[in-house]
Amino acid sequence: MLRSFFIALSTNKSFRSFSEQSSLGRKVSQRFVAGMTVEQAIAATRQINAEGIAVTLDSLGESVTEVAQAEASAAVYHRLLDEIAAKDLNANVSVKLTQVGMDIGDELAERIVGEMVQHAAQIGSFVRIDMEGSPYTERTIAMTEHLNARFPGAVGTVMQAYLYRTEADIERLLAQGIRIRLCKGAYKEPAEIAFPAKPDVDANYVKLMKRCATSGVFCGLATHDEAIIDQMRAFVAQTGLDKKAFEFQMLYGVRRDLQRKLAREGFGVRVYVPFGPEWYPYFMRRLAERPANVLFLAKNFFKS
């Protein structure tokens, strides 16, 4: 119930504009967002890198409806890639296709994200195309394939274990050597296309994570689920799989203790660092994932 409520709230325009403009909103968003500016995001990246943990930077934004907004988002990403190269950061970038104009047209989004992938390829970095709701699944996969054919190894995408189609999609991407981030999935999807029960999503995740990690293609296992992470640890111990054949990925502000522990154990760990004034839909999806986060929000409300 709460999950559906917060996912619905994530698309509410009035509450979004009220929250993004209020100082209280900005304050509570700090729980999951590394700041409002590129400088703040780079400072957070340096701190995380100093602990032996890699970063993927996300300049928050999605569902843009004007070409100028899409171009402005891209400009921030080009700046991030310049900073990554100039400061030799252990970081790459993550972007949503609706942030670079996919709702306006696929051609526009492919041109803009293509320029980003080209830039990343030039500096030896990488662009991860985040996965959004199911209306975008096939188009996101197809665009990743086109771009990987042009800039091999410089682009990858995200697979969501809650979708029935994901197992086949993973085989399709691995056959082309395309890097995958495996997550459970953060959007509301109908039972016709997605497992409605969490235990089924978790079981599919475990099956698919083993497939990704042993594929020979470098994949990211994005989860904070400690039981699943324990299963991966046991799998590595049993099979002798190289701890660096894959990486764990977690969100900024979530399970920092576990991020550090895994890095100390010799696993690759990458933290997803989102920043920027358009934090609202991202933040609401994080509340949907864990009702306890709402208590955190409430505590801050009464403190201020």
Which listed residue (165, 224, 256, 260) binds ligand FDA by CB under 6 A? 224
- Residue 130 lies near ligand FDA (rule: CB under 6 A): yes
Q: Which of residues 269-288 bind ligand FDA (CB under 6 A)?
A: 272, 286
Measure the CA–CA gap between 143 and 47, rounded to whole angstroms.
Answer: 33
* Minimum distance of ligand FDA from residue 292's CB (angstroms): 7
Contact call for residue 263 and ligand FDA (CB under 6 A): no
* Residue 140 structure tokens: 């996101």
Residue showing tokens 């955190």:
296
96, 77 Cβ separation under 8 angstroms: no
Taking the C-alpha atoms of residue 1 and residue 152, their distance in angstroms, rounded to an integer, is: 42
Sequence-distant (≥ 6) Cβ neighbours of residue 255 within 8 angstroms? 224, 226
| Catalytically annotated residue among 16, 128, 130, 270 | 130
Q: What angle do CA 164, 159, 132 make, to 5 degrees?
A: 95
Query: Which of 190, 240 has the CB closer to ligand FDA?
Result: 190
Looking at the Cβ atoms of 119 and 184, the one nearer to ligand FDA is 184
Residue window 160-189: x/- pattern of binding to ligand FDA, with contact defined by CB under 6 A: x----------------------xxxxx--
Out of 290, 294, 297, 300, the only residue in the binding site for ligand FDA (CB under 6 A) is 290
Q: Among this protein's residues, is 82 annotated catalytic? A: no
Closest listed residue to residue 47, CA positions, set 35, 36, 59: 35
Q: Which of residues 235-254 bind ligand FDA (CB under 6 A)?
A: 249-251, 254
Tokens at residue 211, please? Answer: 């497939």
86, 107 Cβ separation under 8 angstroms: no
Q: Which is nearer to ligand FDA, 110 or 130 (CB)?
A: 130
Distance of CA 207 to the CA centre of its chain: 20
Indicate if 130 belongs to the active site. Answer: yes
Q: Which is nearer to ligand FDA, 110 or 202 (CB)?
A: 202
Question: Is 223 annotated in some ligand binding site?
Answer: yes
Residue 136 DSSP label: G
Rule CB under 6 A: which residues touch ligand FDA? 130-131, 158, 160, 183-187, 222-225, 249-251, 254, 272, 286, 289-290, 293
